[in-house]
Chains A and B, each alone.
Chain A
Amino acid sequence: MSTFEEASRDATTGAGDGSFFARQATGLVREGKAYDAFIYNVMWSGGALTLAFMYLLVPTLYPAANLPFTVLIAAILGIGGAFLYALLTTLMPRTGGDYVFVSRTIHPFLGFAANFSYVFWNMVVVGVYATFLSTYGVGAILRMLVGFGASDSLLSTADWFASDWGIFVSGTVMTVLAAATFILGGTQLFFRLQQMTFVIYIIGAFLLVVIVGLLTSHASFLGSFNDYAQNLGTADAAAKVQAGAAKAGYTDTGYTVHDTIKAVSVAWFIFGFIFSSNYFAGEIKTGRRTQFYAIPGAVALVVLLLLITIPSFQHMAGRDFINQLGTADPAAYGFGAGAPAYPEIAAIGSGSPILGFIIIVGFLGGIVAWLPMTMMLASRCMLAWSFDKVMPEKLSDVDERTHSPIVAVLIVAILYILSTAAYAFTDWFTTLTVLFPETLTLLVVAVAGAILPYRRRELYESSARARRAAGLPLLTVVGILAFVGFLIAEIILLTDPGSGTSITDNPRIVLISLGIFFGVGPLIYFGSRAWRRTQGIDLDLAYAEIPPE
């Protein structure tokens, strides 16, 4: 029975205008709404987290960055990739993302290596989410309650959430809850939770921040900030922020092109993940244009949200003051557990614990939804590896009731907890470390896209996207553009000391990233291939390019 997946492709044949005669057959369903797939991608992008990074990292790393321009540069570098993934997802629907794009276009070992690396670093980045969940989510809510007049006994609890153990325990609890969601309620429960989270995320993390930012003057904000810090135990905190920043050597130098470009390292966080939706978007084949609304459209919306939120927020808090907040010692102005992230600053500006609560909970919602989404992605990749016999069959065991790959989910959960521990108790990784290795995978996918019309000519020529541009197949052109964008981003990451993967400052992490991609991945693939051969299984068959003639 064909389902809507193929049906959407069927529906592209011109049915309805009389030029196509459909049989009474299964699967000829009508198109779903691009809007739904769009929601999914927006949730994936980590837009609010990127905004939080900006205001936490930019003051010390790139104080002269013009953030709206930084976001625009990142968007220009990433938009080619958005169209590339949209095209690839349309051409190879239901394929498990880049693992299949690359393995079926270039070579299975490269497909596995690229995907393995991507999944590995996706697990590592969970530690970042755990940190922000605990410190800038739960911890910030408790601190905000004190800041707005609740008992200061909550402050020690708030501070605990920003501690190493607080981060580890919160991240672990969240991981266990995410795993339990899948194991007990399956993907349907998760989707319901995600849907509920989306509204509060957009309202809290973005729209309320914009409204509060536009309606609050800087002077009014400074007054609220002082009142807030007073409740935390520090008087005249705004002045102490300025003094602390001066003591730390901060001076406002205005905007520079150098810092604006370097800060792309932070804004690129969106593009390290927004394409990940192809792992699931492949199942949302609701029409031949859907992916083009859903993936590039999500990029456009997230960029738009950032472009309206940043100026509004800066109107209220002041760019200079935000930089001072980030450079001064937080203890000097009463925020002993750490500098506030943008949701807490917006909450302060709102002057209302209720609005503040909605803002921080909206921010928290994005993180809470992201963790199980990543868990799904990783477990789904493991399923794909297991299907191809690269990994043990046990990984593809799916629960009949919940449709969840229980073993894969449990393995991912354990790895998540290890990642959370690494971020909580060590300084192995910085916030942005994962972007360089993740972009390596994107680069390989761009190459796969560029050569697909030549390597899988029949597939490409038979598709609805078999167009040409500048004398080349459209997909080749888009692949080249995406490659150039990814490459520039990669160069920025490799030359920026703030990225955590600077070739001069962090050569060890760069080598580890390359080693996992080009060493561990191929080792697993070829090791598995040799092991399977002893079992009489020819792994190459799983990927064989079978001639039709």
Chain B
Amino acid sequence: MLRAENSEDTPTSTEPHSSTSDRTLSGRLENAAGVHSADCYQCGKCTAGCPLAAEMDHAPSQLLRMLQTDLPQHEERALRSRAIWMCVGCQTCVSRCPKQVDLPRAMDFLRQESLARGLVNRDASEIVAFHRAFLDSIERHGRVYELGLVAGYKLRTGHLAQDTTLAPAMVLKGKLGLLPHAGNRAAVAKIFARARALQKGSGQ
């Protein structure tokens, strides 16, 4: 079990965007996302209801416990975990949490932090490739171009043979357009560019 050896450093502030320390992962989670990992009293309800807990290396409640200890080795284990990439954001945990700890928001934060620090779990490469291909498609076309998305995913992962029988069947059923939709491409490309510049500027 994980032990709170540094428990006297555990943040106790209850206000989002407070002056909580940025030295710890829990502090940054609190400042950036307003999620107080210290509120969790380890009842385990999130883990019990999580449809993907069985696929995770660390259960959702264990991830929160790792953050509570504020120990660098626990923080790194959380950021390197497969669990943060298995979470699909179904929101079951937070809707049942007696303390309303917004675990899905925490997962979003941990994924972004894990990407920024190059700590992405090896088992998550397909999931990351899929999300990257999806965002690329939006940035390029303003809307998702499904055929391009699948092609982009295959190129990133090398899974060229995946779903090769499904795609032609989708075309026959009229479910896979061969050309991108006409979206507002220029405006969306600017949204991506400004978001990138803003996040670079603030060091996020």
A binds B: no
